[in-house]
Each structure stands twice: as C-alpha cells, then as structure tokens.
C-alpha cells in the first residue's frame, strides 16, 4: 500500500516574545520545524536559512537514502549559516534547532539537532522518536533527574548542540510506518510547557488536523506561552488509486 503524508502547521510568537524565531515547512513528503536562537533578528535568520536549505529535499526523487539526504541538506544549511555569521559579526552565536521527517515508501526518516521534537502516535499511544540535545536530557540519561524533574528544571532550555556554522552530530533513525499513524513535530515552546499526557489527549481528541494544531497552540497559551511555539500535525493515509 502506498502512503501519503497529509499535514498542517501552526505557529504563535507566544505571550512574552516580541518576534517569532521559529520557522516551519510542510511539503509533500517532508516536514521541518526549526527554532532559531541568537537574538533578534539573528535567530529568525538562522531558522529561515535552515528551513529553506532543507526544503529542497522535498522536490528530490526518493533516493532510498532519506537520512543521508537530510544530513546533506543540513550540511548545506550549516555552511550558509556560517557564511551569514561571517558577513555580520552581530550574528555571532546565532543558530537553530531542527527536527525533520521525510517519508520514503513505508518508512520515515526522523532527524533532529537540539530540542525540537518529533512524536509518533499509533493506536492511541504517543512515543517521542527524537532525543533532545539538552543539558537536562543528559542528566536524565545519567539517572540524575527524572523526566518530570527535567521539565521543571531552570536550565531545561539549555541545548548542547545546534546548527550554527560549527561541528554538530545530528541524530537520525528510520521508523517503519503504517496508515493511521499520526506525527507531531514541535518546537520546545510546546513540549517544555505542555505535558506529554495533554499532548497525547489532544492528538487523540481532534481528528481534524487544523483543529488539532490550533488546540495544541491553545494549550501552550493557557500554560503561559513564554516562548514561540510551532507545531506540525501530520497523518499517514493510503494513497488514492
């Protein structure tokens, strides 16, 4: 059975920030969320460069190596961010997180750098399929913090790597998929302030993707939304004959 990806995106600058440094792309088989950093306007520029650099993968034929295609596009984005920093010293330190999902047949490639996330909901169960590159996640891995402790930790937003013109190591995995799978890609503006149980309940409750995305943004605003928040809600459906 051939599968197609149906997706919508929503974004909000939140209740505190004066600008939105997130960037998002929804294509035919590629989804990307990037969360810029480095201050206005450098964070916006970094996430924009990244999304535009990676978006070209959506127009490429399926090579059978989706992770390598994403990694190559990230390398291009990294070079362009490095060049942008070299052009203006005020941009020094700018960078961006990224989480990306690329459909390839009956599998998806999921790749991330930083703390923007990708989740899979299958048969009502929610699974985080990316791993945060953060200080608190390292402490969770070491058994020093519980996941609940990490959510409330004052340094929860401290990323240990990002795409910012220097070396980085993206984490990627291939995930077998089936019709009925639902994916959520989001910046940490959602995942830092809305618990996974609430995210899961929202994904289950609203089958309409546009409504679901809007409800996820609403949950973030109810939580105070001190950060920008961006979400993509995507469903895998059988292709029409």
**Domain residue spans in the chain?**
3-126+162-238
First to last CA, the chain: 10
3-state secondary structure of 149: helix
Kindly report the pTM of this predicted structure: 0.95
Measured CA to CA, the distance from residue 108 to residue 97 in angstroms comes to 20
Distances (CA, A) of 168 to 95, 131, 163, 193: 11, 15, 7, 26
Nearest to 23 by CA among 41, 35, 9, 14: 35
With 0-12 / 13-18 / 19 or more C-beta atoms within 10 angstroms meaning exposed / middle / buried, residue 75 is: middle
Architecture per CATH, 3-126+162-238: 4-Layer Sandwich (3.60)
pLDDT string in tens for the chain (241-residue length): 799 999 999 999 998 888 899 999 999 999 999 999 977 679 999 999 999 999 999 999 888 999 999 999 999 999 999 999 999 988 999 999 999 999 999 999 999 999 999 999 999 999 999 999 988 888 888 888 877 777 777 777 789 999 999 999 999 999 999 999 999 999 999 998 999 999 999 999 999 999 999 999 999 999 988 889 999 999 999 988 6
């Amino acid at each position: 059975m051939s599968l197609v990806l149906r997706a919508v995106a929503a974004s909000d600058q939140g209740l505190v920030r004066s600008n939105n440094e997130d960037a998002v792309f929804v294509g035919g088989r590629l989804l990307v969320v990037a969360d810029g950093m480095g201050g206005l306007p450098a964070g916006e520029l970094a996430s924009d460069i990244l999304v535009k650099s990676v978006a070209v993968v959506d127009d490429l034929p399926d090579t059978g190596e989706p992770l390598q295609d994403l990694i190559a596009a990230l390398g291009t984005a990294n070079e362009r961010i490095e060049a942008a920093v070299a052009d203006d010293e005020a941009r020094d330190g700018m960078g961006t997180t990224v989480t990306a999902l690329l459909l390839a047949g009956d599998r998806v490639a999921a790749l991330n750098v930083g703390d923007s996330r990708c989740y899979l909901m299958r048969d009502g169960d929610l699974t985080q399929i990316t791993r945060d590159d953060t200080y608190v996640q390292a402490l969770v891995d070491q058994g020093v913090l519980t996941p609940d402790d990490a959510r409330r930790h004052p340094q929860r937003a401290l990323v240990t790597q990002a795409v910012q013109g220097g070396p980085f190591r993206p984490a990627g995995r291939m995930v077998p998929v089936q019709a009925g799978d639902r994916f959520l890609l989001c910046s940490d503006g959602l995942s830092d302030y809305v618990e996974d149980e609430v995210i899961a309940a929202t994904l289950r409750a609203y089958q309409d993707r546009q409504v679901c995305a809007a409800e996820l943004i609403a949950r973030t605003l109810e939580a105070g939304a001190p950060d920008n928040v961006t979400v993509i809600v995507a469903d895998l459906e059988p292709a029409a004959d």
